[in-house]
Structure 1
Amino acid sequence: MRILRFLIFYFYHRLSANDQARFLHLDQGIFRRSLQNLHSVIYVPSVGESHRARPRVYHTSFSDFLKDPNRSGKFWLNPDAAMNDVALQSLHWMENDDRSQSNETLIEFSVLHGWHACWNLPNDFIPGLINRLEHFNFSHITQAHIIADDVAKLLKRLYSLVRKHLQQIPHLCHSRE
């Protein structure tokens, strides 16, 4: 389901099949086997071309089906879960930027899409994001070429959410005064 969410909600990316598996922290074999079962609706690059070609959905009707919870039922792909996965995986790649060329594409994708995903996460996913950021090594930010303004915007949003949440719990606010 993670692979499908990535393919469908981030269809415009340029990550090869190998890079997609690496970004999602999935074993290449598991990644390929998962997609192979869907070969009639998804183009799956051969092993020889998976370093440059990317999987893609053959027809948008399959994507439309999976995006509609009324039609797809238990196979529904939650766009918020896709965004959460990209946010958390991007933080991992930005934090672990070792400047190797093999990671360059993943870092670029993470910087471009990761902060956007973090800013736009629905409130239900914010606790997981905050938990991840508690352990995030901010000293690696310069290595990932992240603009400080991006981090400031994210922290400002998180602060406003926490403040709003505390205001909804009167007994906590009064106990701090």
Structure 2
Amino acid sequence: SIIATIIAIMAGIVFGKTLLQTHYAKAEVPVWLKLISRENYLQNHFSSTTAKQGIASPLSSENLAEWIKQNSRPNDKLLVWGLECQLYVLSMRGHATDFPFDILLTSNLSGKTKALAWQNILRQQFIQQLKNEMPKFIVIVNNDSNPTEPVSSNEAIAFVPGFQTFLDNSYRKVKSVELFDVFEIKP
């Protein structure tokens, strides 16, 4: 019908106008059309996404991953403690444990007896796997608390018995980049 067609056209105009005013139109389309460089895109549109907000910028993740690649061998393992698992892929390094995310090990399960018992077993497995694998680097994400993980990853180290001791005894801090502290296995 004509009314339905007119409504569809008007909705399309409103949607199109809205789309042109969005981040998509202002940021991503110029990159795809090669009107601005990828680096300019990241700098211009992620500069407000900063470490003080608990979010790592894509450029800092990429730079750290490149540093990890340059300072390790392809078969070296990595542990990223926090929700920044893109570092495994970007650095092309495998994760040292069965836990590429820390959330299973750090979630508050108090009052849930069976789940807490299961979590304690996972924590023991995690520490044992770390000791067996001895990853070249351990990356700790700082100040990254969010609604899913209300305690920042650097503070959540304390939730896993033996993790801080393992880190202190076997690793030394070699680099800090934005939210990331990088620890390297001691010689």
Tell whether the structures are fold-level matches, with TM greater than 0.5: no
Higher strand share: 2
Larger Rg: 2
TM-score normalized by the length of structure 2? 0.29
TM-score for both structures, normalised by structure 1: 0.30
